[in-house]
Amino acid sequence: MELLRNTNIDFMGLRKISFIISGIVAIVGILGVIAIGRGTTNMGIDFSGGIAMQVKFTQPVTTQIVRDALGKGGIHEVELQEITGGNQILVKMHKSEKTAQSVEEVLKQQIPGNPFTVESSTEIGPSIGEKLKKDTLIAVALSMLGIILYIAWRFDFKFGVGAVVATMHDVLAMIAVFYVLHKEVNILLITAVLTIAGYSLTDTVVVFDRIRENMHKSLKDPMFVVFNRSINETLSRTIITSVTTFLAAISLYLFGGEVINDFAFALVVGVVVATYSSIFVASPIVALWEKNPEATEAKAA
């Protein structure tokens, strides 16, 4: 299946605009990383410590009823999410001295006519949250190192650096969106980030594979011409893969329920930025490194 044929888009000519856009996104993403490190953004209980309970009532109940009930019992700092279907409420508390048992007792006292069962309960202390932060940073760092080694082994060191920069761009872009929208930073976001890192790498490798093939076929052509031709030749495949993956992610976001809502949203953002970076970030970086850009452009003219 091929959606586009014989396209001749000058992607390399758009590199300055794409670098400016990517630079702005990366700066916002770095600010988001600093805020995460300082714990000043919307940190989930996975990192800041707290309690998460999924409670299933026998009769329909709203978050406002549960919030009022907890407030009467002295529990005010709480986040509630209504889970579609099944009369379920997700209760989250940050760094509170209250325990899951105290929440359960308050609900029993304040909503006596609507019995409930606790479907799941998780308590995470601040020390565990700090350990998760360190483990997450180590996992991301090792992933980036693995990407450089794999691409360097399969292609060239320059390609490896281009792939890592593109992957880091995707990670920072996802963090930037969550930081600007003040969405919760939790372990699901990290899962989505690592998932998109793998997706972005696969997409980039396909483009790099065609570039390497064309570089061997067209030794006399200017570097930018070879890169443009390679991206155009793989453009149809890139669009089909991205659209199908995007449709799966947006379906999860719309119909997957509140529990995985942020995870699905991160995937939607990640698929878009990963597609963009494989074309407008990874390839231009390698092209500029492969040969002096001014000499290349002069030869192309």
Confidence bin at 3 (pLDDT 50/70/90): low
What domains are defined for the chain?
A: 14-42+128-298 (1.20.1640.10), 50-124 (3.30.70.3400)
Q: In whole angstroms, what is the distance from residue 55 CA to residue 90 CA?
A: 6
The three-state secondary structure class of 91 is: strand
Largest CA distance in the chain: 81
Q: In whole angstroms, what is the distance from residue 233 CA to residue 229 CA?
A: 6
Beta carbons within 8 Å of 284's beta carbon, 6+ residues apart: 11, 12, 15, 18, 19, 227
- The predicted-structure confidence for 63-95, as pLDDT tens digits, reads as follows 888 888 888 888 877 778 777 666 888 888 876
Asked whether residue 4 carries a pLDDT value surpassing 70, the answer given is: no
The rounded Cα 231 to chain-centroid distance in angstroms is 24
- The predicted-structure confidence for 26-73, as pLDDT tens digits, reads as follows 999 999 988 887 878 888 777 777 788 888 888 888 888 888 888 888
Entry pTM: 0.76
